[in-house]
Amino acid sequence: MKMMIKVFAIALSMITFFANAEIVTVGFKSTVSYSDNPDISVGETIDISLTYDTASAFDGGNIYFDISPGSNITATFENGLVVNTNPAAPNKIDMYSYSYEVAPATFNYDTNFHSYDAVSNTAATVMNMDLLLSNVVSTNPNNALRVTWDDDVSAFSIKDFNVMIDGLFVQSTITEISTAPESPVTVEATTYSAPISSYGGRLYFIRDVINTSTNTVEIKRWAYITWPDGTHYNRDSPKKFILDPMEQNIQTSAYFTVPSYWPAGTYEYHLNSIVVQDGQGNEGTVSQDSFMFTKE
């Protein structure tokens, strides 16, 4: 038993932790202020949804590249036209973040979201969609991505949604910002396995689910694996859990066997949960985390 504990302690010391991914969804309403498109009139309302991953790759400058499968920008127009990020796009959203001091303890904070590969529900061709936002904050974000949306829409000096449809420019001004409820449950997945050999083998990992609220929460938890070519492999079906207030459900020696016939490359394991019931209006909220592993 002592030997097993020692081996496990060594394995834990070798864990490489990855930043926890947080998927943020924000809703916007905007009013068209200028339109070259005869099918979209000034004064019309656009409903916009933005979903992005706060752990997206950073280019070292001011750009974050979001390649998460669920990340997208969707805009719905009054005439029934819907434009959204192309699900097949390798890079879903380019996110620009820049902050600079304009006065003591006063910083201008620009965060822009661009979708350069977009499609529509009609024959219309969409060239790009751009969400442009800027406001003044009291603490320097140091070019970090915006992760909270507590500011009132009136606090933004720039709040535009622009789109090119059939080569015709449409500009609108954002009038409302709303965020979905956050899940009271957090999930974390980390691995302490070496690369899997070409002969296959076991991938060991830690799976941690925590109820951060003071209420009993019923959830469903499931996992899937993204292959090197983007294929989704369903690891297991959703399982129901009931978590007491502040309860932690952790598995420190979870594993699954990677077959020898799986192709070589980099894989990503995704752990997910959705709230079924908590009595606080958080039903349907999702939490996610993931880690990368390789097979030789």
296 residues of the chain, pLDDT tens digit each:
333 333 333 333 332 233 345 788 899 999 999 999 999 999 999 999 999 988 888 877 789 999 988 899 999 999 999 999 998 899 999 999 999 999 999 999 999 999 999 999 999 999 999 999 999 999 999 999 998 888 889 999 999 999 999 999 999 999 999 887 778 898 999 998 889 999 999 999 999 999 988 999 999 999 999 999 888 898 888 999 999 999 999 999 999 999 999 999 999 999 999 999 998 888 888 888 889 999 99
Smallest CA-to-CA distance from 72 within 38, 113, 41 is with 113
Predicted local confidence at residue 46, as pLDDT: 97
* Amino acid (one-letter) located at 283: E
- Compute the residue count for the chain: 296
Predicted local confidence at residue 260, as pLDDT: 96
Predicted local confidence at residue 32, as pLDDT: 98
The CA-based angle 17-20-21, given to 5 degrees, is 140
The CA-based angle 114-265-8, given to 5 degrees, is 105
CA distances from 219 to 181, 186, 270 (A): 15, 11, 16
Predicted local confidence at residue 21, as pLDDT: 53
Please say whether the dihedral angle defined by the alpha carbons of residues 104, 95, 186 and 201, taken in this order, is positive or negative: negative
Distance CA 64, CA 94 (A): 6
Distance CA 222, CA 219 (A): 10
Distance CA 108, CA 102 (A): 7
Residues 6 or more apart whose CB falls under 8 angstroms from that of 150 comprise: none
Predicted local confidence at residue 281, as pLDDT: 84
Query: Strand, helix or coil at 12?
Result: helix
Contact at 8 Å (CB) between 170 and 40?
Answer: yes
Contact at 8 Å (CB) between 55 and 35?
Answer: no
Predicted local confidence at residue 57, as pLDDT: 84
Residues 6 or more apart whose CB falls under 8 angstroms from that of 6 comprise: none
